[in-house]
Structure 1
Amino acid sequence: MTELAALDYIVIAVLSLSGIIALIRGLTREVLSIIGWIAAFYGALFALPLLRDFVRGVISPDWIADGVILVVVFVAILIGFGLASKAFTDKLKKSPIGLLDRVLGLAFGIARGIVIVSFAYLILLLLLPPDDHPDWVREAKSTPVLKSATAILVRIIPFDNLSDRVPDIDDLMKTNTLKNVIDDNLPTLPSDIKENISGKLSDKEDSSGYNDKTRDLLDALIEETTE
């Protein structure tokens, strides 16, 4: 049997842990948990201007007061939403569809684990070229799978906009821009997957609109996969 590298064990551990947690909690609670984090984030941002004047009158300096508002509101919403979702899902687990909810949760957890390790691999590519990766990454049996999963992610999510939102990100990534990472280090996709993703991206563009930079990148990716 071929010996596994350290990266293989890390991938197995992340997927197993994510899957087990989701199996225990169930799909419904996992989804509600994500919604809760999003609600807490936006709730804190919404509460900041409403509470700022009052809290700044009690706490100084101003940046600490703002931080207290964000943290307290975020945690309060997260806890409240979590308690409500737990009460709902506890009843769901005792219902006839409880087992199905757990099985679907397992699938969700594994998929989430794949996304986590794929993002981690993408960050590694941005920081270090493949030739500089340690042996336990380059020789891992899971590396080709990570490349394929990461290739799908970068073709679905418009990562190219990141350099517009984070001004110095290209400097932080040295000379390894996102486009170079996509073009040089990630595999092309099978035509059927490419066409499916391209169709979804077209629907996204019609509904929300991509900028010219994003369209140029997508065109380049599609041309690459057809060569």
Structure 2
Amino acid sequence: MVLDLVVLGILLLSSVVAFMRGFVREVLTIGSLAGAAAATLVFGSSLTPMTRGWIIDPNATEPQSLFGLVPYEMLAPVIAYAITFVTVLIVLNIITHMVSKGVHAVGLGPVDRTLGVVFGLVRGVVIVGLLSLVLNFVLSDTQRETMFSDSKTYPYVGYLADLTGALMPGRDVLDKVKNHGTDEKAAEKVGQQPLEPGQARKSAGYSSAQRKKLEALVEQPQDQRKSRSMQFNN
């Protein structure tokens, strides 16, 4: 029941927000974030020398750091990338606001809001898929079945998790990390299983007969040792 409320809440909230903002503004907002991130990757390093000159004293004789924890050499590129991201994002958001107002000014407001609801539902489904993927990573199949046995939306959430995981890059790495602990526990259980009466654990070492042959081979003269070695190997 709790899972159903969470899923419905995410879908409803995403749809309401998209309805209020409109389809054009929602799409352009995502584009603004992507554009700001791209600009940060391209131009962020160019601002690093400037920010380094702002915060680093070239005449200082001791290492400079923020609160004695973060060296200024590490802080300078962080500031440069942050300034680039925020500046580009503000400019793109201004453009987004102007375009959105223009769409409503020409009488396309109802269409924009209707498409916004559709966009909000799709976005909500994507969010639910990502959250369900996290649940699949954290909880085992048995734990999920027990916790969400009374949920009506759990089958759909599980399908979304599988679909989202199939589309994500690096899925094999996540599976290996998730199964690593399970495999270790299984191996420990196998090693700790009680033996049947009269059963002995297998050993990777030599048998008693092989050890006796080795001892005899060591004690033999050099000329006889070669022939003994060939017999032992055979």
Using structure 2 for the length normalisation, give the TM-score.
Answer: 0.65
Residues matched between the structures, number: 167
Describe the shift of the 1:160–1:134 C-alpha distance in structure 2 as closer, same or farther (beyond 3 A).
closer
Correspondence for 2:45 among 29, 45, 49 = 49
Pairwise mapping of residues 138-157 of structure 1 onto structure 2 (< 5 A)?
138-157=149-168
Match in the other structure for 2:125: 114
Please report how far the alpha carbon of residue 51 of structure 1 lies from its aligned counterpart in structure 2 after TM superposition. Answer: 1.2
Is residue 35 from structure 1 mapped to residue 31 from structure 2 by the alignment?
yes
Please report how far the alpha carbon of residue 9 of structure 1 lies from its aligned counterpart in structure 2 after TM superposition. Answer: 0.7
**Which amino acid letter does the alignment assign opposite residue 53 of structure 1?**
P
Deviation string 1:93-112 (CA, Å, 9 cap, x unpaired) is 23232211110110010110
Deviation string 1:179-198 (CA, Å, 9 cap, x unpaired) is xxxxxxxxxxxxxxxxxxxx
Describe the shift of the 1:71–1:134 C-alpha distance in structure 2 as closer, same or farther (beyond 3 A).
farther
Identity %, equivalent residues? 26
Deviation string 1:69-88 (CA, Å, 9 cap, x unpaired) is 11121111112111110111
Match in the other structure for 1:68: 79
Using structure 1 for the length normalisation, give the TM-score.
Answer: 0.66
**Which amino acid letter does the alignment assign opposite residue 22 of structure 1?**
A
Structure-2 separation of matches of 1:86 and 1:176: 49
Describe the shift of the 1:159–1:138 C-alpha distance in structure 2 as closer, same or farther (beyond 3 A).
farther
Please report how far the alpha carbon of residue 170 of structure 1 lies from its aligned counterpart in structure 2 after TM superposition. Answer: 4.2
Bigger-Rg structure (1/2) = 2
CA contact (8 A) 1:27 1:105 kept: yes
Match in the other structure for 1:175: 180
> What's the Cα RMSD here?
2.3
Q: Which runs of 4+ in 1 moved over 6 A?
A: none
